[in-house]
Structure 1
Amino acid sequence: MAGRPLNATAASLLGFLHEGPKTGWDLVTTAQERIGKFWSLTTSQVYRELSAMERDGLIEAGETGPRARKPYALTDDGRRAFADWLERDPGPENIRHPLLLTVAFAEHLPAHRLVEILAHYRAEHERQLSEYEQLLASHVLPDYPAATVEFGIAYERAVLSWLRGMDERLGGAVNAADRNAPTTDPDVR
């Protein structure tokens, strides 16, 4: 492989291309469906990686089809690069959780707004947990994809447990904060 080391986004695209040729759009859709819950990639990243991988000889483009879409296929170099990447140590994870960033600065937020935000996240995580549990119960997943869904279930349960702890931590903070909050109404002094 010429040039740069293979990154995780490029490697995931090569992994999907093991199933056969796919267009950039097919790869975006496949990534969103299969790994979108735990690995984010944007459409622009996919097309940028496809260009770089084609330039590096890891994939080759087929004939342009409808809507100027080109199917890409793995080359032998692409298969080797993917195998090399897959055998590497994945490295440390990096938690990027928008809610945790908000909570880190929550002292600057009215308590009732924090409660609203937490309630929204709770509903989203309950929905996602239910979706994962239904997917796992369907018994249509091979072993390794099922293992990623099991991780999703454990993660959702952990987040919901943490959210319950936040509810306890806040306790009566909403009412106390609302009683002490400055008012902008000139008639209330």
Structure 2
Amino acid sequence: MSLRHALLGLLADRTASGYDLLKLFDTSLANVWPATQSQIYSELNKLADTGLITIAAEGPRGRKQYALTDDGLAELRRWLTETEPQRNVRSEVLLRVFFLGVVSREQAQSYLADLATRFATEENTLRELENAVEWDESDLSLYGRIALEYGLRFNAMRREWAEWAADQVK
């Protein structure tokens, strides 16, 4: 996934300003694909330059409302249906676990217990997000809930695994 496609996807639902998109990232995509304000605005300029989005309106103080173009929608659809997702195989967590034999069992057990706590915290953060979002009947809400459920289940599995692993080291 790229920031480019995330922005195209958000704009497929509605027109939005850069600020609106930043807030949407903070409330819906931060756990999947975090982005900073400068990254978002830079990518919006690139998307506008390539004709994938357009400036639908310009308000006070230069606030721009961006809209998806037909070419932008075609690119989003192409990305969704014709490209394979990149498989991220690197995991610093698992790399560290692999080498825990070089520290004491107490240190290894502490590391694994800390992981369990971290994963539980991430799971709780997603639960709070789930409760804070005003879900509706839109496609964005439907697929947002599906993606959120993935995050909840993934973090629950990681927490359970870390608890199990810490128990193995005792």
**Fold-level similarity (TM above 0.5):** yes
RMSD: 2.9
Structure with the greater relative contact order (CA < 8 A, sep ≥ 6): 1 or 2? 2
Ranges of 4+ aligned residues in structure 1 off by more than 6 Å: none
Matched, 1:152 2:162: no
Asked whether 1:77 is paired with 2:71, we answer yes
- CA deviation string 1:127-162 (max 9, x = no partner): 3334445627x9936432222122122201210122
**How far apart, in 1, do the equivalents of 2:105 and 2:58 lie?**
58
Q: TM-score, normalised by structure 1?
A: 0.69
**1:42 aligned to 16, 36, 44, which one?**
36
Once the two structures are superposed, the pairs formed by residues 175-186 of structure 1 within 5 Å of their partners are: none
1:16 positional shift: 0.8
Q: How far is the alpha carbon of 1:64 from its aligned partner?
A: 5.4
Count of residue pairs brought into register by the alignment? 163
Q: Which is richer in helix? A: 2
Unaligned runs of 5+ in 2: none
Q: Secondary structure at the match of 1:18?
A: helix
**Counterpart in 2 of 1:51?**
45
Change (3 A) 1:112 1:155: same
For structure 1, which runs of at least 5 residues remain unmatched after alignment? 1-6, 172-189
Match of 1:140 among 135, 138, 145: 135
2:17 corresponds to which letter in structure 1? T
- Contact 2:116–2:160 (8 Å) recurs in 1: no
- Could you tell me how far apart the structure 2 residues matched to 1:55 and 1:111 are? 56
- Alignment partners' CA distance in 2, 1:38 and 1:55: 26
Give 2:167's aligned amino acid. Answer: E
1:28 paired with 2:44, answer no
Larger of the two Rg values belongs to structure: 1
Give % identity: 25
